[in-house]
Structure 1
């Protein structure tokens, strides 16, 4: 028997049915004013709903709730990062006062897009660290509460862990038990000193009350003024942007008389970050609106088609983030910069064949700027390099030879700037080789280098660095007796490249010798290995003796800069590098103090006696605190290492280095540094008995035992350009 089946009618959403069909759960075609079923039944057809599916409302409500819960978790992580934890649980209003509803009508400069998060703004956030930066501090709580990610063996994390292990090695030889002073009732003098308000990073700025959200085009006159300021300061040491190109774009925008909305997004982003960089060196208004605008413009829509403008903007954005205490965030623009560079093909010499001479130079500078940034971030943030050594063709560096006959006369890059950039690129090549050779490319291996291999590779890298130093005259390396107090502004500009090359030279010295220093310290303090003299140990100590002298030279240089020309660090985009180096200096100075106390005749072996090593350590800690400003991690590091120092001195039962070493002579201390005197209780040198509880307590104090009362009255929680919890802090030792 054949059936002729009626075709199934498509049932629309129930929310579109009339009341009668909904009540009987019948199919409704949704025709208005009368549906087909009601017409057949001669029934009244009434539609009372709005036509919107309530399930969609519930779905949006769930999304909003999930976003709210995510934000609450972020705030909890930020509170934990600041050490406020349970103490702030009773004050939810203050914690949630920073939450703002999402405004879908905001301009690109007011919201976050792509892979960036709109954090760290001076105008809108009092807890500026991003989620990733806040989570990163979880490692430094006691016990650790979250997974903070990976930091390789070239990081300050690794240096500090190695230092702690060496102290614990010495503690295993302890025969007497000691009681640590309670934190609240018996605070030491060092603890009290570490709680004093630190020096601000910059003088209080007048711009804090001036239109914080104004990111509009400032007008031609002001735009040209800021552009000129940029190329006189940061642009002179980051020479991969053409000043003439930027000024032409400003003229085009001014001629249209419609703001900069009609320009390409990549050009807007480049101008925005240039304005932010320039304002960062000035004191008249906040750079944050233009920084946020650049963040908003550098989204996937802008980067979908790679351009030179977008690559320049990404590089400047990463530099700005690093030097405004957002170093962990700078990974994102760096990743994107590497991607855009590969897409443009600027890494390949073949892509340069049909370009004009000026385009070749700009692209070559851009490529090596990306490589240099990759090397310094790989060494500091201790992740594997994004650009392997074999991908870098150094023959492209010939395009930057100032003596090349076909070189263009680009006014945005002087001959001195180009020479500096070439020397800096060669130095960063050594940094890349060092990370690969000594630190296994920051990929932890199951077997570390044998001491013999480590010594041999350190010698080879030291020779490479020495060859580099001999080849950079002029400008050369600044001498340790330079007195910046007598330098005028013009003299500082004239010596700019010499000072910067000196800073990066000492950065390379720290990276090359840091691993050897920690290995020798571990060997000498360990009970499992003999600490007797041998060929390898003698060679290692000879290398460390030279490194100690370089460390003193660096300490004198940065101390003098902070005292007399602090603005130099900001105007030349090296604050982050110097701040990172100062933490390395403090850890390495502590290691030398331990070495001096555990080596007989240390002044002849490594060139320093225990009292002088202690004075150097105290100077390093004071400089770290002054340079870090209100950084919470600088405070924690300063406090922890001071606690180490005072605990180890107060339980002194070790070798009296002063018995074996002659009094230090003037030649052992560089001129210009007034070493602080050791405390009276430390006349016997470094103690050699410590309890593990003391070490654990110090780590606890450094990585998670900071309460809200510690920062009351210090201005720490106030808003401002260089105040508040920063991404530098949230990243740990970054």
Structure 2
């Protein structure tokens, strides 16, 4: 007899209606409670659907013949496959890490002195690390393969050089090109510099790593050398810009040098590398040739960039902000000057993101952390004012964002390699720089129209009124300087001697740098009046009333401007022409270069005005015979500043060309013939036939490139060459 499960219902005689009874492995809960025959349909059986019951299947714990759905099995298989893939990846990384650690132990024993570690490279950011700009020093804009445009506002040297050029070429070109670009009423105050490619081959990047030899990001000099470089930073740049807390940094540095640098966070190691780069690029010229110093600095810069290339875009810690600040300072002295502007923007945004500008946000931190945050924010402000001045661009940080109290000196702050009195004086120096640069912001805001270049023209009387107001504030700042930070005169510098070992070593250096900053602000403050005189030389149909007002009340401003420029050149020349100790009294060489070059340009423009008989109200107190010597004195100072430095060499070259023209007359006025000959010489001095390629760069912030001058002396400017255009 067949089993019950296979019995055939014999109630009907029709074979087609005979159906086998299907066995259900598991009935639903409702059917089991009602002891009904469940058809096992999923997700709801037929009886539950018809009666409106909730249909659930609960398998018993002792069930051995449970059937599992196909979808459930597929999901489990997918999860297992995913886990296997992850485990395989982890195993592969563990194998690589084991081989890497073993190689590290075999190659670099614990007692080594050279911390050349690891194969990590900077290939992730090759362009930013290796590309040089055609513009140097306090730089401007990068010129890539395609046409790029860089805006230079009224306070930049490019804008001022445009005025000088129009004055020097006015007599030669007035008949040929009566409507020069950018010579509207009020003169040229801003412009765009445009280039498709540098005319001469761009020099090979100094110190850049070869593509076949990737740079080791974790490499450091020998321990003793690294420690000495860090000490040099905190005993020089760290005193001028005291926003990195020395005790914490030095403690971490000692810990890292004794152990593996890979165990420290990348942002700290990047900060260390850019610190070493700063020490190398600011080293005294007597230590090593300029090419070697710049190559070594560039190597550390590339390592820092490779270590923090991703972190600096996030800016989530104060350490990253300090890294960006120090990199921005370093880039001002390289041929990567366009990056200084970009890096500074990242630093400011990161500082705002962290709330460094906010007193309320600082309340959650310890007093020491609050002080570090405050100093870092003010360092952002100082760098912002500097770049705004040199590039002629609007400030990134408005003055009403600067509301924090000035930094305070902590008596517990100890820097082992620095006299405690110098540390205390460093805070005072930093605070007075902040106050001075506040007036720099006001000067650019009121006299240079915030560097916006929107044709907001002021009359001569309005400019004089604003200049007098700012001058009074500057005089109050000068008289309020604390003891030990008073401004220095050339006579005092000549009589100065090296301090005794028991005396503070940096007091005189603070005074010299503060004096140069003050004098340069004086030059910048009174430069608009000089520009007004220069424009009057160019504009034959200038407003006669404005010219009379200019002659009546503007001459004193012109004299103050020229005296400040001469004092800068005298001070720099005296320092560089003296003993080795005197040479250490200056700050970073690119600031000295900028002050000297700008002052020479100011005096060059003053000479043009003094030799115009219609504009010269009276002779300058110094006399034109003495005034004409200062551009040459500036050239001599730059010869002493550095040897073999391409940026310094290019500045000196341009000044030499300027000083060799139109010096034939020593009177207050010149004949038309002599003036025309001098003007023609001015144009020919920047002829496109001059070969600039031996220096291997194209310079554009301190002066304009040869192609730019060549474009302005053609009948019509070419779109493929440098051009200066008014946006209107």
Q: TM-score, normalised by structure 2?
A: 0.65
- Tell me whether 1:269 sits opposite 2:270 in the alignment: yes
1:375 aligns with 2:385: yes
Partner residue in 2 for 1:440: 449
Deviates more, 1:375-384 or 1:288-297: 288-297
Residues 223, 133 of structure 1: alpha-carbon distance in 2 compared, 3 angstrom cutoff: closer
Q: Which of these residues, 650, 654, 675, is aligned with residue 688 of structure 1?
A: 675
Indicate conservation of the 8 Å contact 2:586/2:592, yes or no: no
Alignment partner, residue 511 of structure 2: 498
Q: What SS does the aligned partner of 1:150 have?
A: strand
1:622 is matched with 636
Q: 1:421 aligns with which of 430, 433, 436?
A: 430
For residue 517 of structure 1, report the CA deviation from its aligned partner.
Answer: 0.9
Counterpart contact for 1:477–1:498, Cα < 8 Å: yes
Residue 519 and residue 545 in structure 1: after superposition, are their counterparts in 2 closer, same or farther (change >3 A)? same
Contact 1:239 1:421 in 2 (8 A): yes
User: 1:228-267 CA distances to partner (integer Å, 9 max, x unpaired)?
Assistant: 2211111111101111111221243245x3x211211111
1:36-185 → structure 2 map (5 Å cutoff): 107-108=120-121, 110-111=122-123, 113=125, 117-119=128-130, 129-130=132-133, 146-171=147-172
Distance, in Å, in 2 between the alignment partners of 1:237 and 1:251 is: 23
C-alpha distance 355-385 of structure 1, shift in aligned 2 (>3 A): same
Q: Structure 1 residues 567 and 107, CA, compared in 2 at 3 Å: closer, same or farther?
A: farther
Q: Secondary structure of 1:468's partner?
A: helix
Q: Which residue of 1 aligns with 2:475?
A: 466
- Find the aligned partners of 2:673 and 2:509 in 1 and give their Cα distance: 40
Give the secondary-structure state (helix, strand or coil) at the position aligned to 2:533: helix
User: Which SS does the other structure have where 1:594 is aligned?
Assistant: helix
How has the CA–CA distance of structure 1 residues 383 and 605 changed in structure 2, closer, same or farther, with 3 Å as cutoff? Answer: same
SS for the counterpart of 2:621 is: coil
Q: For 1:238, which of 229, 236, 241 is the aligned residue? A: 241
Find 2:360's aligned residue among 345, 350, 372: 350
**Native 8 Å contact 1:594 1:686 kept in 2:** no
The Cα of 1:529 is off from its aligned counterpart by: 2.7
**How many pairs were matched up?**
528
- Whole-Å Cα distance in 2 between the matches of residues 627 and 685 of structure 1? 38
Alpha-carbon deviations, 1:266-310, whole Å to 9, x = none? 111112222233344374883333222111122224542511211
Q: Which residue of 1 aligns with 2:491?
A: 481
Identify if the C-alpha distance between structure 1 residues 641 and 313 changes in structure 2 by more than 3 Å, giving closer, same or farther: closer
- Within 5 A, what are the aligned runs for 1:230-309? 230-254=233-257, 257=259, 259-280=260-281, 281=283, 283=287, 286-301=296-311, 303-304=313-314, 306-309=316-319
Q: 1:314 aligns with which of 283, 307, 324?
A: 324
Root-mean-square deviation (CA), in Å? 3.8
- In structure 2, distance between residues paired with 1:610 and 1:229: 44
- Point out where structure 1 has 5 or more consecutive residues left out of the alignment: 1-104, 120-127, 176-210, 661-682, 717-724
Structure number with bigger Rg? 2
Question: CA–CA distance in 2 between the matches of 1:483 and 1:301?
Answer: 45
Moved more, 223-232 or 343-352: 223-232
Q: Is the 8 A contact 1:233 1:571 kept in 2?
A: no
Residue 453 of structure 1: aligned partner: 462
CA distance in 2, matches of 1:442, 1:578: 23
**Is the deviation greater in 361-370 or in 348-357?**
348-357
Partner of residue 431 from structure 1, selected from 435, 440, 443: 440
Per the alignment, in what secondary structure is the counterpart of residue 534 of structure 1?
helix
Q: Report deviation, 1:149.
A: 1.2
Q: Is the 8 A contact 1:579 1:628 kept in 2?
A: no
Conserved? CA contact 2:356–2:373, under 8 Å: yes
What runs of 5+ residues in structure 2 fail to find an aligned partner? 1-117, 177-213, 705-728
Shift of 1:373: 0.2
Query: Structure 1 length as normaliser, TM-score?
Result: 0.64
Q: Which residue of 2 aligns with 1:698?
A: 685
Deviation at 1:447, TM superposition (A): 4.0
Partner of 1:523: 536
> The residue matched to 2:219 in structure 1 has which SS?
coil
Question: Aligned partners of 2:235 and 2:320: how far apart in 1?
Answer: 22
Provide the rounded CA distance (Å) in 1 between the counterparts of 2:648 and 2:160: 16
Distance 2:680 2:142 in 1: 19
CA 626–247 in structure 1, closer or farther in 2 if over 3 Å, else same: closer
